[in-house]
Structure 1
Amino acid sequence: MDKKLKIYIGLLVFVLLGIIYIESVKPKEINWYPSYAAKHKIPYGTYVLHKEMPSLFPKKKVKDIHQNPYTFLKDSTNNGTYFFVDNALNFGEDEFSELLKFVKRGNNVFIATNGVHIDTLKTETSILTTSAFEEKAYQKMSNPIFGEIEYHFDRDFSKFYFSEVDTLNTTVLGELVVRNEKDSIISKKPNYIKVKHGKGNFYLHTFPQAFTNYNMLLNNNYEYVANVLSYISTPQKNETGATGGSNSRSTILWDAYYKTGKSGIASPMHYILSTPPLKWAYYIALIGVLFFIIFKGKRNQRLIPVITPLKNQTLAFTRTIANMYYEKSDHKNIAEHKINYFLEYIRVKYRLSTLKIDENFYKNVASRSGNSEEKIKDLFQKIKQIQSKSNITEEDLIALNKAIEDFKAYKNS
């Protein structure tokens, strides 16, 4: 063994020992993966909720369901409240048909997920956006019996709300409240509803994060979860005025099938990286291969092939999207996008808020852009007219585009 090889081996051992030391002393990273699995104690698992279900429903039995709803509900003797909590739920047509039959004969289904689009129940969600510089979102119950308490969840999340409901069969149970930096309410939208179907009900919630370990243990947010679930823990009255029997709603059917974080091993690599000894063996092997490539490469230099860089497809993509809108003749949609981009242009370039369009706003835009105040008023009058129409012509769209481009092209003399 020559001196040079000994140096290389010593360097490799030193690097490996350094990595082992760093890994052993550094704090374990928090896993924020949204698994929603009952066995996971990570922040976005549902271990706490699953453990507390018997205390939240003292008169009901909690049963874990590891089958998909289509297979489980084929047995019509299965009754209770089917409980779904996950990051996203996509039921198949036949599967949701079984859920409809399940509810129609007097059972309940509780679904908490980000975004719900159910044509059968005439229910659709959207994401709430505001123009506030700083905003905070709160969750609250609609019924005054719960008081006017608003619960805040401190991590960022998508603000889904119900933008379309069947007003004849839907009851709003909870709301999403958004406040600005002055603590004034700037928006209030429904995010928890009950939809009657047959003899049973669907309970739909757009904020599944509230039911995770982290949020249930944060401050007094567990009270919010208890309030939400109180609707399905209370016996419902049937058409005759009597409460439902024990067979129909005496069991909470906890869905353990539809979970973002599956209980099983997704791949061999997942198993290797989740087992510390195998993970270290894998990393050491990678480092050894890296050293081999470096030292071997010094002896055998190979020609590096010329790789043609990928073409910029941005322009082609833009043309494709533009042609789609043009072929559909959806002039109104194009105009709305054009207006939104123009308002964003004013906010970014001239540092002006577009929340309130008034005389003071016209003066500020005129002084900063160099355009005349009359020209700016005419432009925003066009925008207002287009926004008030349900459909516009191609000539209206061309006129709007020309007015905006003339505004941007103007330069101070």
Structure 2
Amino acid sequence: MSKRYKIMAVLLVVFLSLLIIGEATQPEPVNWFPGYGKQDKIPFGTYVFYDQLPSIIDKDRLEDVNIPPFEFLLDSTDPPEGTYLFLNSSVYNDASESTKILDWVAKGNTLFVASKAISETILDSLCLNTEYLSETSELKKRPLANLSNPSLKASKPYRLNKDVGTVYFDQIDTTQTTILGVYDLIRNNDSTKILEPKVNFIKTPYRKGTVILNTFPEGFTNVFMLDSLNASYTAKALSYLPKEGKIYLDQHYKNSKAKAVSPLYLILTNKYLKWSWYTLLIGALIWIYFEGKRKQRSIPVIKPLPNQTLDYTRTIAGMYLDKKDNHQIAMHQINHLLEYIRSSYTLATDHRDSAFIEKLAAKSGVEQATVKNLIDYTITIRQKAVVTEDELIKLNSLIENFKNSH
């Protein structure tokens, strides 16, 4: 390495070192990401909520649910009973899952959702509609909230000192729906009262059950609950939950992950380790650059091997057809079908019972009778020692019909 390159390398390292020291000594910026995770201690996390929840509700009644509601409520013979509580900036169940939840509520259970975005299926079923509050006359968009019940209503509304988007119910069935709370943005710098109340907290019956909806999920977050003036809002909102029965706390519909998904998580979440890691990477790149310039040689072009997969497949298929081994061909077709189910619908195929058939029909969108006919026929074929040509053709038709039906 020449003297010139050495001087440039030293200057570059000194510059990067000063830059890294400057960045590492800066205070950590506030993370305003709306995570709503149980473990999140950021402003819009829910660590305080879940930490204080056992002091409001008996902890023996609380149970975390880490799977989708569709799977949790799948057992139609003995489904869980109680209250299903969702808390996130968005809880948008698809149509089939929303129907499953409403059917569960109709049996006498309770659904509690604190979210800005709620499933259209649920809203339509309850004759509700939401609307964003998009007024722009005020520069700040800081909401005020309060409860409607005189015994729970505070003398001054609860305030969130952070600009956030607001959603309210602009259409409700007044004959069935009970208004539990209202909110609005601060107007004319007056935070002592809600000047133009908008409905954000309601309770409505659904057959034998009850649905409670709140479009102000920030009222359950760390930044809101740690304000001493807001301490009672969350507890009062939870007072509308049933006094008995299990309360299932959804941990699936969360913006943040409960577990680290990267092996570098511990390094990248610590600013000192993070910058040490970046320094290592930059040093490695500098070393590769200078070493590569001195030692790099031309790389010969190697012609890739031809793809003979199609010819191989034709040869193997011809061998089976010549032997008329229908049983072996049927086994291959069934194995390919099971692999297709595993890869396309993430279902285990070890036990192909009625529960498996119900899950496959739900995920594929194919009628349950069609799926059952296919699975039963594959089981029958597997048990046969000899497969006729007509049976092989029927098997192929059933498989093709299933794949083309969704």
Per the alignment, do residues 291 and 170 of structure 1 end up closer, same or farther by CA in structure 2, a change over 3 Å counting?
farther
Residue in structure 1 matched with residue 245 of structure 2 by the alignment:
250
Give the distance between the partners of 2:189 and 2:276, measured in 1 at CA: 51
TM-score by length of 2: 0.63
TM-score by length of 1: 0.62
Give the distance between the partners of 2:176 and 2:283, measured in 1 at CA: 62
Secondary structure of 1:77 counterpart: coil
1:151 to 158, 177, 187: 158
Q: Can you list the C-alpha shifts for 1:198-233, whole angstroms capped at 9, x where unaligned?
A: 22211101011111111110232121111111111x
Aligned amino acid, residue 251 of structure 1? K
Comparing 176-185 with 222-231, greater Cα deviation is found at 176-185
Residue in structure 2 matched with residue 22 of structure 1 by the alignment:
22
**How many angstroms does 1:180 deviate by?**
2.0
Residue in structure 2 matched with residue 5 of structure 1 by the alignment:
5
Q: Can you list the C-alpha shifts for 1:125-151, whole angstroms capped at 9, x where unaligned?
A: 101233644565310001111234300
Matches within 5 A, 1:278-357: 280-282=276-278, 284-286=280-282, 289=285
> Within the alignment, does 1:189 sit opposite 2:189 as a pair?
no
Per the alignment, do residues 20 and 194 of structure 1 end up closer, same or farther by CA in structure 2, a change over 3 Å counting?
same
Aligned amino acid, residue 124 of structure 1? N
Secondary structure of 2:52 counterpart: helix
Aligned amino acid, residue 130 of structure 2? T
Give the distance between the partners of 2:20 and 2:52, measured in 1 at CA: 39
Give the distance between the partners of 1:278 and 1:177, measured in 2 at CA: 42
Matches within 5 A, 1:12-411: 12-58=12-58, 61-75=61-75, 76-116=78-118, 117=120, 118-130=123-135, 132-133=137-138, 136-147=142-153, 148-181=155-188, 183=190, 185-232=194-241, 234-235=242-243, 249-266=244-261, 273-274=268-269, 277=273, 280-282=276-278, 284-286=280-282, 289=285
Per the alignment, do residues 292 and 66 of structure 1 end up closer, same or farther by CA in structure 2, a change over 3 Å counting?
same
**How many angstroms does 1:110 deviate by?**
0.8
**Which 5+ residue runs of structure 1 have no aligned equivalent?**
236-248, 298-413
- Where in structure 1 do 4 or more consecutive aligned residues deviate above 6 Å? 268-272, 290-297
Secondary structure of 2:181 counterpart: strand
Aligned amino acid, residue 160 of structure 2? F
**How many angstroms does 1:290 deviate by?**
7.8
Aligned amino acid, residue 205 of structure 2? K
Per the alignment, do residues 33 and 133 of structure 1 end up closer, same or farther by CA in structure 2, a change over 3 Å counting?
closer
Q: Percent identity?
A: 32
Q: Can you list the C-alpha shifts for 1:278-306, whole angstroms capped at 9, x where unaligned?
A: 66434542576489889999xxxxxxxxx
| Residues 140 and 177, structure 1, Cα contact 8 Å, conserved in 2 | no
Give the distance between the partners of 2:189 and 2:3, measured in 1 at CA: 71
Per the alignment, do residues 10 and 283 of structure 1 end up closer, same or farther by CA in structure 2, a change over 3 Å counting?
closer
Give the distance between the partners of 1:290 and 1:126, measured in 2 at CA: 54
| Residues 144 and 194, structure 2, Cα contact 8 Å, conserved in 1 | no
Secondary structure of 2:228 counterpart: coil
**How many angstroms does 1:8 deviate by?**
1.7
Per the alignment, do residues 124 and 271 of structure 1 end up closer, same or farther by CA in structure 2, a change over 3 Å counting?
farther
Per the alignment, do residues 119 and 286 of structure 1 end up closer, same or farther by CA in structure 2, a change over 3 Å counting?
farther
Give the distance between the partners of 2:166 and 2:274, measured in 1 at CA: 41
| Residues 86 and 114, structure 2, Cα contact 8 Å, conserved in 1 | yes
Aligned amino acid, residue 209 of structure 1? E
Give the distance between the partners of 2:25 and 2:278, measured in 1 at CA: 20
Secondary structure of 1:227 counterpart: helix
Secondary structure of 1:187 counterpart: coil
Q: How many residues align?
A: 283
Q: Can you list the C-alpha shifts for 1:342-367, whole angstroms capped at 9, x where unaligned?
A: xxxxxxxxxxxxxxxxxxxxxxxxxx
Comparing 275-284 with 183-192, greater Cα deviation is found at 275-284
Secondary structure of 2:91 counterpart: coil
Give the distance between the partners of 1:155 and 1:48, measured in 2 at CA: 18
Give the distance between the partners of 2:30 and 2:194, measured in 1 at CA: 33
